[in-house]
Amino acid sequence: MGFIAFLKTQFIVHLLIGFVFVVSGLIINFIQLCTLVLWPINKQFYRRVNCRLAYSLWSQLVMLLEWWSGTECTLFSDEATVNTFGKEHVIIILNHNFEIDFLCGWTMTERFGVLGSSKVLAKRELLYVPLIGWTWYFLEIVFCKRKWEEDRDTVIEGLKRLADYPEYMWFLLYCEGTRFTETKHRISMEVAESKGLPKLKYHLLPRTKGFTTAVQCLRGTVSAVYDVTLNFRGNKNPSLLGILYGKKYEADMCVRRFPLEDIPQDEKEAANWLHKLYQEKDALQEMYNKEGVFPGQQFKPPRRPWTLLNFLFWATVLLSPLFTFGFGVFASGSPLLILAFLGLVGAASFGVRRLIGVTEIEKGSSYGNQEFKKKE
Average pLDDT, the chain: 89
Buried residues in 110-138 as b, exposed as e (16+ CB within 10 A): bbbbbbbbbbbbbbbeeeeeebbbbbbbb
Report pLDDT for 130. Answer: 83
Residues of the chain with CATH 3.40.1130: 8-300
Low-confidence ranges of the chain (pLDDT < 70): 1, 348-376
Report pLDDT for 371. Answer: 43
Report pLDDT for 353. Answer: 63
Q: Which residues does residue 250 pair with via DSSP β-bridges, in sequence order?
A: 72
Residue 73 to residues 50, 182, 261, 308, Cα–Cα distance (Å) = 27, 26, 30, 17
Report pLDDT for 228. Answer: 97
CATH code of 8-300, in short, is: 3.40.1130
